[in-house]
Structure formats: C-alpha cells, structure tokens
C-alpha cells in the first residue's frame, strides 16, 4: 500500500482485534469501548492507548471527541440481540441499540463534512434476518440517508482459523468502488443474497456486490493450537464421564467411531440446550472435524468449550484454556490477556477474528481507500 497511512476509528473496540487485523500501516485516530475488562486489556496491549482510547458509553460521545476525518469507521456493535442463541430483539434491543449511539456520531460528523469515507459494521448472521429482514433494511436506509453505498459479505473464520465463526461484514463507501472490487465472491452467502433481494428499490440501487477472493486453504487444525498435554489440567474420570452422559446417541456414536479408529484425535465439546419430546434438555455435542465451535463469552448463558482427546482407546477431557481461545481468534501469544480466565475468555469470545480483518483490509478496504489517498497527497 502506498501513499499516506490510512486512519480509522474503532468503535466497540474490545481488545483491539480489528486494529490488529488492519495492521501497522493503519493509524488509529480514536477507539472506544464501554466494558471495563476490555478497556483494561486494550490499554495493556497498545502503548499509544492514552492518546486515542476513550472508555465509556458511546452515547456520551460527541463529534467533537473524534479528531479529523477518518478513512474508515469500524463498528463491531454488540451482537446479542441478533444472535440465534439470544432473544433476537433486533435493533430495538437494549444492547444492539448501541449501534444508534455510534450512528448518531456518524451523522454528526457528516454534518461537519467529516463523515468517514468508508464504514464496516461487523455482526452475527442474524443481522441479515432479524425481524424478517426489517432490521437490515433499517440499517441500509440509515447508510443510504448519509450518502453511502453498501454491500455485505458473510465470512466464516474457519477459512482462516480452526474455529467455526461465521460473521457478517457490511461495507459501506461514500466513493464509487473500482470495478475490480465488484463481482462474484464465495462470501455472497444465501443469506446475503436474500437480504439484498429483500431491499426496496431505492436501497437496492445502492447495493454493491463486493468481490472478495477466497483465501488460501487453511493449513492448521484445532490440535495444532493446543497447549502440550502436560501443561494443562485434565478432568477427573468422573467429570469426563458426565460429559459423555450428556451426549445424545449421535454424538456418543461419533466419539465411539473415532475411538475405534485408533491413534490420537482431538475434538471440541460444547453444551447446547435442545428440545427433546417437548422438554428442554442440556446436551454435550462433540466435533472431530479439526474445528472448535464458535467461541462464546462466558456470560449470557453460553458455556465454556471443552477439549476431548481420544487416544489409546481412552477419552480425556478438559476445558479450553484462555490462551487457546486467543489463538483461535488469531491473537499472537505476545498479546496480553487478563489473569482471570473468565475475563480472558470474555475478551477473546467477544472479538473479531484477526485474520479475517486482515484479509478484508488487504483485498477490499485498502484498494478502495488507498488509491484516493495517494491521489490527494500528490
């Protein structure tokens, strides 16, 4: 990338994973988060945080708090109300209404002629379907009202990391995208296509089919990111037995098939609530496809994932460690995590996968923004 460094604001910054993904060639002009654990983690990992990081509710900020005009505003707004595991309250929900606190700032910046040139809104897949698509239409209308054209991509972190973590990235721009950045993409999922098809005509005219190439094949699996067996605490046989008792017949059969094959196999176990014969039943589900399930935060009813190792015809289980969770998000081992496991898992589970951001930046955001920045600098 040539020309002047690109600048960005990072809202709902968490531990700064979007910043890490954008990389050193980008300059963070402003960052914000409300959560005290994430705030402390951000400050511990970025030496310049005192210059640009503001802790507190996004609703307390005004345009005067944001310096200059950023090339990009990144917003990983709270996703609980869009999550399939939550109440799906939509944009009217208490947590996701934080989006409107962010959007109020964008409107204020636009009134001063300082609207970000591009915006990325990252969220769970429910953003596309909540309230029958009405919430996505409302988001599209808000973007269009400020002059943005936009499109969406649904990217699973499993393309980059051994974690199943599909997320939606809405990319909006004030400037016409180069032709090379538009076209077919493997990340135009069925849900993305349905959301685009459901837009009214005046919004559909602003839709952009962003072209994002598929990355090279992932070459690591879950087992490659785990701590050595001797460095972690394993469950007692009785506790492992309770995990097995929670498994439905399908998952018990899956584990047994792996055991009978022999050798060593690593699987991920996570708890889910299922409806069986009209009753809510807690089940343990295991996968041996080299992927962890989607990391969750250790609050809001989601449980901590466990690891199952099948070896020498036996089964051992243990909890996923915070460092392993960080690796599953693409964080380097040099990244400082909170000492408390619950806090560390909160930071990791409530973030955006770093390699996904890097791929998106290199393939779309930098080509979109850097060319115009270079021309302006001449």
Instruction: Spell out the domain ranges in the chain.
Output: 6-219+349-377, 228-320
pLDDT at 83 over 60: no
Q: What percent of the chain has pLDDT over 90?
A: 82
Segment 316-345 shows an average pLDDT of 97
Q: How confident is the model at residue 1 (pLDDT cuts 50, 70, 90)?
A: very low
How much is the pLDDT for 96? 55
pLDDT digits (tens, 9 = 90+) for 116-172: 999 999 999 999 998 899 889 989 999 999 999 999 999 999 999 999 999 999 999
How much is the pLDDT for 276? 87
pLDDT at 278 over 60: yes
**Least confident window among 23-27, 86-90, 184-188, 286-290:** 86-90
Higher pLDDT residue, 372 or 268? 268
Average of per-residue pLDDT values in the chain = 91
Q: How confident is the model at residue 330 (pLDDT cuts 50, 70, 90)?
A: very high
Contact predicate 370/2, CB 8 Å: yes
How much is the pLDDT for 373? 47
Q: Tell how far CA 210 is from the center of its chain.
A: 19
Higher pLDDT residue, 300 or 97? 97
Write the CB contacts of 271 (distance below 8 Å, at least 6 apart in sequence): 246, 282, 283, 284, 285, 303
How much is the pLDDT for 375? 38
Q: How confident is the model at residue 81 (pLDDT cuts 50, 70, 90)?
A: low
How much is the pLDDT for 3? 62
How much is the pLDDT for 299? 59
3-state secondary structure the chain: CCCCCEEEEEECCCCCHHHHHHCCCEEEEEEEECCHHHHHHHHHHCCCHHHHEEECCHHHCCHHHCCCCCCEEEECCCCCCCCCCCCCCHHHCCCCCHHHHHHHHHHHHHHCCCCCCEEEEEECCHHHHHHHHHHHHHHHHHHHHCCCEEEEEEEEHHHCCCECCEEEEEEEECCCCCHHHECCCCCCCHHHHHHHHCCCHHHHCCECCECCCCCCCCCCCHHHHCCCHHHCCCCCHHHHHHHHHHECHHHHHHHHHHHHHCCCEEEEEEEEEEEECCEEEEEEEEECCCCECCCCCCCCCCCCCEEEEEECCEEEEEECCHHHHHHHCCCCCCCCCCCCHHHHHHHHHCCCCHHHHHHHHHHHHHHHHHHHHHHHHC
pLDDT at 300 over 50: no
Q: How confident is the model at residue 370 (pLDDT cuts 50, 70, 90)?
A: confident
pLDDT at 94 over 60: no
Q: How confident is the model at residue 90 (pLDDT cuts 50, 70, 90)?
A: low
pLDDT at 88 over 80: no
Residue with tokens 């004030």: 174
pLDDT digits (tens, 9 = 90+) for 203-245: 999 999 999 999 999 999 999 999 999 999 999 999 999 999 9
pLDDT at 84 over 80: no
Fold of 6-219+349-377: Rossmann fold (3.40.50)
Segment 345-360 shows an average pLDDT of 96
């Amino acid at each position: 990338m040539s020309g002047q460094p690109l600048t960005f604001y990072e809202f709902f910054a968490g531990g700064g994973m979007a910043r890490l993904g954008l990389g050193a060639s980008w300059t963070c002009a402003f960052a914000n988060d409300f959560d005290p654990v994430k705030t402390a983690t951000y400050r511990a990992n970025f030496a310049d945080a005192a210059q640009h990081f503001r802790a507190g509710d996004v609703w307390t900020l005004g345009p005067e708090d944001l310096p200059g005009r950023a090339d990009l505003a990144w917003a990983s707004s709270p996703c609980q109300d869009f999550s399939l595991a939550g109440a799906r309250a939509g944009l009217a929900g208490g947590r996701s209404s934080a989006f409107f606190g962010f959007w109020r700032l964008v409107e204020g910046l636009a009134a001063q002629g300082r609207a970000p040139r591009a915006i990325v809104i990252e969220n769970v897949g429910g953003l596309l379907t909540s309230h029958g698509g009405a919430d996505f239409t409302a988001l599209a209308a808000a973007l269009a009202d400020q002059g943005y054209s936009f499109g969406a991509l649904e990217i699973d972190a499993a393309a980059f990391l051994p974690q199943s973590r599909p997320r939606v990235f809405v990319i909006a721009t004030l400037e016409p995208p180069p032709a090379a950045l538009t076209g077919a993409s493997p990340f135009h999922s069925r849900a993305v296509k349905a959301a685009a098809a459901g837009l009214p005509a005046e919004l559909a005219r602003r839709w952009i089919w962003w072209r994002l190439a598929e990355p090279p094949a992932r070459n690591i699996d879950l087992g490659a990111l785990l701590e050595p067996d001797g460095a972690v605490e394993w469950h007692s046989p009785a506790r492992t037995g309770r995990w097995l008792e929670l498994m439905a017949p399908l998952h018990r059969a899956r584990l047994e098939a792996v055991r009978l094959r022999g050798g060593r196999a690593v699987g991920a176990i996570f708890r889910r609530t299922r409806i069986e014969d009209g009753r809510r039943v807690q089940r343990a589900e295991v996968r041996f496809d080299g992927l962890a399930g989607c990391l969750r935060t250790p609050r809001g009813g989601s449980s901590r994932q466990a690891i199952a190792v099948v070896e020498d015809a036996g089964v051992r289980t243990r909890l996923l460690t915070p460092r392993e969770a960080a690796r599953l998000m693409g964080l380097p081992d040099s990244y400082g995590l909170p000492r408390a496991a619950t806090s560390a898992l909160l930071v990791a589970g409530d973030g955006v996968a770093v390699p996904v951001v890097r791929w998106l930046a290199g393939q779309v955001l930098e080509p979109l923004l850097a060319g115009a920045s270079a021309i302006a600098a001449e």
